[in-house]
Structure 1
Amino acid sequence: MKKLLIVLAFAGISFTAAAQENEPVQKYSVSTNSFWSNWFIQAGGEWQAWYSNQEHGNGLARSPFKKFRSNPGVAVAVGKWFTPGLGLRTKLQGFWGKTVVDEKYSGDNKFWTLDEHILFNVSNMLLGYNPKRVWNVIPFLGGGIGRSMTYNFYAMNLSAGILNTFRVSDRVAVNLELGWNRYEEDMDGASFSKTNRRGWEMKDNLLYAEVGLTLNLGKTGWNKTPDVDAIKALSQAQIDALNAQLNDANAENARLRDMLANQKPAETKTVKEFITTPVSVFFNLNKTNIASKKDLVNVQALAKYAKENGSSINVTGYADSATGKSDYNQRLSEKRAETVANELVNMGVNRDKITTAGKGGVNELSPISFNRRATVQIAE
């Protein structure tokens, strides 16, 4: 029983240390990957200590490093993660064991064990999925079958332990594993007596420590689930921008119809009134890039007039007051004005002829989303 307590103590230390990692938490939903994603293989060397059922009551030393009970071993495994916190692996380990009766008698026992393990990545479960986390703590439970090749015996077994992986890159990790295999009593080939035996002392037990490498295969990591609400908000912002453009176009058409109905002889004055009317360029929510390049058609006409007449241009940026804090909206409106000014420069307008200003968040237009814009106007 002392050996079991030692294993549990190691597990507790590993879990506590991992919980104290000072790293950013990334808790978000992930999408299910294909069957061929997130596979891995492992290989490592082990130090194995055998505690046979025959030694109970013999007063043997409990150290796992005693020569009569310890031998090196090897292990290979292949597995797959189905979620960031849950996986399966198939593990083969052996191959040099011990038959331990007492300190004066122990023999070699060549064996192999094939187990299926359920893996629980508690680091991802409790701290949130983080593909760059250096240390992951992964308890496991499972069972399988073992065979003593020396004595030609087969035995069922249960297994438990804790796997620690230390990230080297997206493909490679160093792993340190502590585990316990509990076999039926005939695994080591020695006879069994039921006299005064309880629990694990009625069975053959293998404690092991393993150091090895993990190699991730194929696609690794998990894709973040799309934020449906954000996508809907973006689509709505684009619809609002189109509605704003349509309303502006309707207003401009109405104004032009009114001008035609009351046309004055001075055509040049009419043209000037048309050119000096503010032109709106719209933006999506929280964006500084122009929502539609079609908005620049009227801006080009205005830029042409300014170049031909040496006129100055005023560009004023706005944000809607319904979203964002005032200082953020101020910066956003200034950046939107600068974006349009850069477009005017690309059209051949001298930068010295352009004045920019930001008005921050406003609610001059209805609906409120129409205020995500910049206006361009010939200076009086």
Structure 2
Amino acid sequence: MIKKIVFAIILAWTTIGAQAQVFEPGEEPRTVRTEGFWENWFVQMGLDMTLQNPYGYDFSKVFPNGKSFGLDLAVGKWFTHQVGVRGKFNWENKLPLLENGHANWLAPFYQPGENRRKGGYIAVYGDALLNLHNLFGVYRPERKWNTSLYPRIGINYNFGVSKGSLLAGIGLLNTYRISDRWSVYGDVAYIMTGSGFVGKESKADTGTGSNSNGYLTFGIGAQVELGKIKALKNAKMQDDLSVLSNGIWDNWFVQAGMDMSLMNPYGCNFGKVIPKGMTFGLNGALGKWFTPEYGLRGRVQWENGLIPNNSVEWVPPVEDPRQNYKKGGLATIAIDAMLNLTNVITGYDPERKWHTTGYVRAGIITQFVEGSGSPLMGVGLEETYRLNDKWSLFGAAGYQVSTSEGMGVSTTGMDVSAGSNGFFDIDFGVRYDLGRNKFYRDEETKKKAYAQPVAGHNWPRFAVNTIASVGVAYIGKTALKAMVKEERPDHSDNKSFPSGHTAMAFAAARSIDKEFRKESIWIPIAGYAAATAVGIERVANDRHHWYDVVAGAAVGYGAAELAWYLSDKLLGSGSKVALTTTGQTVDVTYNF
């Protein structure tokens, strides 16, 4: 029972900071105050209907040939009043009362009831949400109706034929707020998918490329905001992560660079990628940061059109590789949802030069030699270094997958799944910021920042707070061990829950994070990695269960938060003593 209570407290702790989808207008036009990464999350649940439409078939016969029903579950976050993300899971044509035994157009084609009998199909979507009211109008926290446009990327899996495929789509989400916490929603989208998922067994009968098969999907359901509900009046965000999002015309950038792609069709030996699957090209992009953590970017890539590789064999036409270059090569058009990991983990600092960003890519790839396109999905990491107020350098590495129609040898066909063809993409180039490209903190946060010592690290405070953090973690883990009395996996004693080593390691790691988070992202990452390694070692040596380690990490993290909070309250967040280094000297300063 005590263990369940502890986990309930940990769960509540991790969600209590989430805020409802209500922002406070900023002082400047078209701005709002936004908080940290863990705010403004929501959950959706509803029902949907899809209308399948295989290539070349009369859409008027969708009823009942291409109709199916299913269940939707989604979790999402609004980064600001204009943009957000949503991950969605859909299970179609199987659940009780939601079956259609006449769905002839779901593979296996023209075998009514077989798809339902084998489990229907599932799909996982990723949506980049663009609130049209707030993009083109003025933000009003009391608005009830909101319409959002979203591009979609994902994968599906058809149990009827044990096959999967990439999908890409576009849709509209309408929500109506009925209370501070609850809303209802209506969803409509059109999705393109590969020829192996919907339609006849023969590729010749369904065509190739992104338009070979598609389906409309309609959904309705309820949405609930997670965490505490923020009052609409006198809402003040006191978190140090609070910043003002700039207007729609701020924080835009353009970038251009060169890239190298390493193609890897299904079933081919990756060791032969060079030179059979290596291409070179150019890329360009236009993007915008909506918050310090989240941005969107439209990207165009042109490959094997200016810099030829006459030895390339793994792009169409396979029989005559030089034709790909002669007829223009290949191109991709994509939208990247970007998450600045540096600002998520360490907080926003306008003076920081290095940034690490993860991105999810959704788009279309086309081979000019064939004139057809297919869905494209990818993930990657990008590193940028700011040279001055306008110019930055960037380097990126990602992995992208496409359907078998989009790239690769013709023998891959439609019998393979979403991972049938993929390629690594390595980029480097320059980025130029258009106009103002800095977020700014609200006045309260500025005052807090100016109250801190501006020179160097406060080593005495760091040492005292780290010792205190580890000490509080030790007391906490000892008390829990005495109450829970769980036996260790190796049966040596009954002091398994929680892991004391992990608790103290995470207490030290969080303390390091507190002190060095604004200097470099890699210092806290190294601290957390070391603490995680301690936990893994305890499980590997049969001294703890995995949940002992998770609980220990939470205890240590919380202990550091408590120690630093009490230190700030009792001694002030800015001690009068600070140490700095200048050249070859060490300076001690005292602030009166």
- TM-score range for the pair, normalised by the shorter chain length: 0.3 to 0.5
More helix by share: 1
TM-score, normalised via structure 1 length: 0.48
TM-score, normalised via structure 2 length: 0.31
